[in-house]
Structure 1
Amino acid sequence: MPRGLLLVGVVLAAQLCACTAQPYVGSRGADGFSVEFMHRDSVGSPFHDPSLTPHGRVLVAVRRSTVAAKCMSTSRVDSPTLDGTVSEAIHRSFEYLMAVGIGTPPTRMLAIADTSSDLVWFNCRNGTGAAPVRPPSVVVFDPDNSTTFGLVGCKSRACRAIPDGITCTLASNCKYIYSYGNSSRTSGLISTETFTFAHVPGTARGHRGRRKRVATVNFGCSTATAGTFQADGVVGLGGGALSLVTQLSAHKSLGGRRFSYCLVPYSVNASSALNFGALATVKDPGAVTTPLIPSLVDTYYTVDLQSVKIGNATFAAPHGHHHVIVDSGTTLTFLAKALLDPMVKELSRWIKLPRAPSPDKLLTRSTWQPRSHRPDTCIY
């Protein structure tokens, strides 16, 4: 990626987007489907904290975004061996969740939806039937209870797509390790399963009981993690070969390699919709588009920011453009200092109010300077 990489959070984008953000209603089409896209702070989320005020929830989201920016700007971590010791557990934050049914019959798993990583993985019992140590709220998938579970060979395309490291078991199955930018990681066996996507109960509007089943999806059956993953797994929605979006594109009946979301306002206690295939088309009047541009990291969805307008003043991005990552795990928008400083100066000319101190100094101008590119991924 070019120098001066930026990071854009989806919550701000949702507040400004031209499309009409409607609460999730469980729609499904013959060549596409929609699933619930649940914000972690919404009332229906298991991570909702009723003790927080609306302002408190925003501050917590700001803290998560700060962690995200630091993750993007840190250097790549070395991958440990599969048999080595794990590092200190690191708290991992995130913004959005989606439910997936894994196996036949399906086990409902609530996973982190992440546009800045590729691997789809879920907590699994190991070959002896023992469950790894997990928080009580985390669900663990048992492959022995599914009639559609399969393992992937070491020479398979899915196995070769793992960026960090693979080894072969005695049976020539693919054993993986997948690392994130803040030293957290997951390891286990690359496997295949049938995934089931269903509407949220009680909001079907004529689609009650309808589900979309997709066979032979590659995923990581995780038997060990380093770091604190509060959910049941991670659904990578990035642009790489292992992401759910890329894998779904192999099913031509689903309408191609595309997905979309238009988020309800941050203050609304309702879930949004995450649309795949043909249902990903945004048809709202006034909706506009901008092209995705090539990135050195296949995972990232990158757009070109050329300028920002405040009133009648236009501020051009340094060098005429800045490449921006669109990330579902970040609430705030982070801008390069060369673009941000004149914007703050212009806003200060128009806002004639005393400045209030920022709690924990979270909302002061960041000194974060992005690197030229990131060879690995972050999850928040």
Structure 2
Amino acid sequence: MSLATTMIAIFLQIITYFLITTTASSPQGFTIDLIHRRSNASSSRVFNTQLGSPYADTVFDTYEYLMKLQIGTPPFEIEAVLDTGSEHIWTQCLPCVHCYNQTAPIFDPSKSSTFKEIRCDTHDHSCPYELVYGGKSYTKGTLVTETVTIHSTSGQPFVMPETIIGCGRNNSGFKPGFAGVVGLDRGPKSLITQMGGEYPGLMSYCFAGKGTSKINFGANAIVAGDGVVSTTMFVKTAKPGFYYLNLDAVSVGNTRIETVGTPFHALKGNIVIDSGSTLTYFPESYCNLVRKAVEQVVTAVRFPRSDILCYYSKTIDIFPVITMHFSGGADLVLDKYNMYVASNTGGVFCLAIICNSPIEEAIFGNRAQNNFLVGYDSSSLLVSFKPTNCSALWN
């Protein structure tokens, strides 16, 4: 494979599949296994809250982050993409009309005693759904209720009966390594919303390109201590599920590029933080200013591509440090790993910021979030960041 073909292949792999489609006083919290690869629940629902000190090992695999969870009775384990940029939980189900090639066994509802189809006002009383993600990936199937079980490291499970999930029987465009998606946005069908009133929008994760990481919910998700910076979470009426932040500027080395004076400038949210997207996306006009600042620093030979800024180099050290300046003084100095991606064959590095259309959402992707403990508090409308060696945090 030629280097040009390799670069096209790597960015097809890492380009996001997911272009976006109240503080608890409870002492409980829990953690589920996280694997690195890419209407509020009724208060009458009963959950198992006998939870201990949670942490979990993880496995690194390419560019996505997967969560381990179990569905059905008896519990059937799946590994699905952790996606704060979407709402729905879904998995591939048998029998399949058209399923992509999944490495792990596919969930068989006929073997679960708690599987129940939701009845809707359709000709066959089923509740069909269809979701289309970035890259033309899609899932089609029916909405059902099923028991979802999340393991904590205490060994005590967190059980969510009658959770609304999608049973996908026509799915395409996804990698064999994962069985579906776990939506974690603010929407009514997301996992975090369906947990109920004891866990109202509190979660945190710590992504690493190697080693271990985990995701927390409830009281254990609070991010505090030395080095923590917080920025306001904004909610927009048009897309109320997304976690919007306000990016004020980006520094490339010592050059600060303000959003003010550009169409990207905003006061109440201009970028979505999204764990289901690998790369970071800026609107083209502002993105070009950032790219130009990188070009002024890097003296290596450009790799011949116009859509992505790449250079021939055997080392990442030639590239400038990039800092994201969010509102409220939340300045994130990013590791070079967060902002530059090496080709599969070596010898080429590319800026992990993609220029997109001004009508598309700007995205703060998961690679940029590496080695930060990231906490979401939807009650206080804050997202907090704490510089952390995530691969060593849970060892």
Scaled to the shorter chain, the TM-score interval is: 0.5 to 0.7
Change in 2 beyond 3 A, CA 1:258/1:192? same
Letter in 2 for 1:242: K
Letter in 1 for 2:282: L
Letter in 1 for 2:119: G
Letter in 2 for 1:101: Q
User: Contact 1:120–1:244 (CA<8 Å) still a contact in 2?
Assistant: yes
Letter in 2 for 1:104: T
Counterpart for residue 335 of structure 1: 282
Give the number of the structure whose residues are more often helix, by fraction: 1
Counterpart for residue 302 of structure 1: 244
Counterpart for residue 68 of structure 1: none
In the alignment, is residue 273 of structure 1 matched against residue 214 of structure 2? yes
Change in 2 beyond 3 A, CA 1:192/1:360? same
| Identical positions, percent | 29
Letter in 1 for 2:278: T
Change in 2 beyond 3 A, CA 1:186/1:260? same
Letter in 2 for 1:354: T
- Provide the secondary structure at the position in 2 that maps to 1:279: helix
Counterpart for residue 339 of structure 2: none
In the alignment, is residue 105 of structure 1 matched against residue 74 of structure 2? yes
Letter in 2 for 1:142: D
Q: Deviations over 1:283-314 (max 9, x none)?
A: 23221111111232233211111123456653
Match among 102, 110, 118 for residue 144 of structure 1:
110
In the alignment, is residue 245 of structure 1 matched against residue 192 of structure 2? yes
Change in 2 beyond 3 A, CA 1:237/1:44? closer
User: Contact 1:125–1:132 (CA<8 Å) still a contact in 2?
Assistant: no
Specify every segment of 5 or more residues in structure 1 that has no aligned partner in the other structure, as ranges: 1-28, 49-56, 62-94, 156-167
Counterpart for residue 192 of structure 1: 145
In the alignment, is residue 38 of structure 1 matched against residue 7 of structure 2? no
Counterpart for residue 323 of structure 1: 270
Q: With the length of structure 1 as denominator, give the TM-score of the two structures.
A: 0.62
Q: Matches of residues 1-380 of structure 1 in structure 2 within 5 Å?
A: 31-40=28-37, 45=59, 48=61, 95-126=64-95, 133-135=99-101, 137-154=103-120, 168-170=122-124, 172-199=125-152, 204=153, 207=154, 209-230=155-176, 231-248=178-195, 251-253=196-198, 255-264=199-208, 266=209, 269-295=210-236, 296-309=238-251, 313-319=255-261, 320-321=265-266, 323-343=270-290, 346=293, 351=297, 354-358=299-303, 362-364=308-310, 368-373=355-360
Q: With the length of structure 2 as denominator, give the TM-score of the two structures.
A: 0.60
Specify every segment of 5 or more residues in structure 2 that has no aligned partner in the other structure, as ranges: 1-25, 39-56, 311-350, 367-395
1:324: how far off?
Answer: 0.9
User: Contact 1:38–1:98 (CA<8 Å) still a contact in 2?
Assistant: yes
Structure number with higher relative contact order (C-alpha < 8 Å, ≥ 6 residues apart): 1
Q: How many residues align?
A: 272
1:235: how far off?
Answer: 0.8
Counterpart for residue 9 of structure 2: none
Letter in 2 for 1:272: S
